[in-house]
């Protein structure tokens, strides 16, 4: 799959919502004229929410890219429950005004995809990582590093979409999923990974560098 994603401007997930919003606004315009303006604002919101622009992907074999647009809310040592090891955890929170297309953070082969049903508490809270609906990808890089990339639903988000399966190979920046209406992405990296972002920093999917993996043989590269 082309990491630039061959659907310019509007994500395919948004067309039904955008079509419905525009149809309703047009119908009200015919009967109510300018009173339909709030419905056109709703259609404009839907349009901006489902935008999905192409992004430049920086080079560098050990770079870990942001899987989502948003704000960094966690940079800390934590336990990776998906790889069962200590890890560096970096979390990105997406509000309703961010692009919600999810991109692969590293090159590698998917070893496991696991879906967990759960609650829908505010994704800005750290407990969302453990209690909310989520979908976890465990990715093995060519050098043997394990990277966990977890889509987490939020307070408003009610649908986590993932289009890849175990055994598939991902390319950094490749589009692999989508989360509707506010959520977060958690990335767990092996010990030795060096963070390149700080809490509060704004990042962009496929373009911003979250961290750099240690060279083979350093830290817990084999997971």
Catalytic positions: 183
Is the separation of the CB atoms in 67 and 104 below 8 Å?
yes
- Separation between Cα atoms, residue 49 and residue 24, nearest integer Å: 18
**DSSP letters spanning 54-78:** -------TTEEE-SSSEEEEEEEEE
What CA–CA distance (Å, rounded) separates 193 from 90?
11
CB contact set of 125 (below 8 Å; sequence gap of 6+)? none
In whole angstroms, give the CA distance from residue 120 to residue 117.
Answer: 10
- Cβ–Cβ < 8 Å for 91, 73: yes
Return the closest-CA partner of residue 195 out of 90, 106, 86, 87.
Answer: 90
Specify the residue for token string 């630039």: 4
């Amino acid at each position: 799959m082309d990491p630039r994603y061959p659907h310019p401007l509007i994500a395919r997930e948004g067309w039904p919502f955008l079509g419905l919003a525009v149809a309703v606004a047009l119908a009200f315009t015919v009967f109510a004229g300018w009173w339909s303006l709030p419905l056109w604002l709703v259609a404009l919101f839907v349009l901006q929410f489902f935008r999905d622009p192409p992004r430049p992907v920086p080079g560098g074999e050990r770079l870990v890219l942001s899987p989502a647009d948003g704000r960094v809310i966690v940079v800390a040592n934590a336990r990776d429950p998906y790889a069962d090891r200590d890890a560096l955890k970096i979390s990105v929170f997406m509000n309703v005004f961010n692009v919600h297309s999810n991109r692969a953070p590293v090159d590698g082969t998917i070893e496991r995809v696991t879906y967990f049903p759960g609650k829908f508490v505010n994704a800005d809270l750290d407990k969302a990582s453990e209690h909310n609906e989520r979908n976890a990808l465990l990715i093995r890089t060519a050098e043997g590093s394990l990277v966990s990339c977890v889509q987490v639903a939020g307070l408003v988000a009610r649908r986590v979409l993932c289009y890849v399966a175990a055994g598939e190979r991902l390319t950094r920046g490749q589009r692999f999923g989508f989360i509707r209406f506010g959520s977060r992405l958690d990335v767990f990296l092996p010990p030795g990974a060096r963070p390149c972002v700080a809490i509060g920093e704004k990042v962009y999917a496929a373009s911003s560098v979250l961290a750099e993996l240690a060279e083979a043989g350093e830290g817990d590269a084999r997971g």
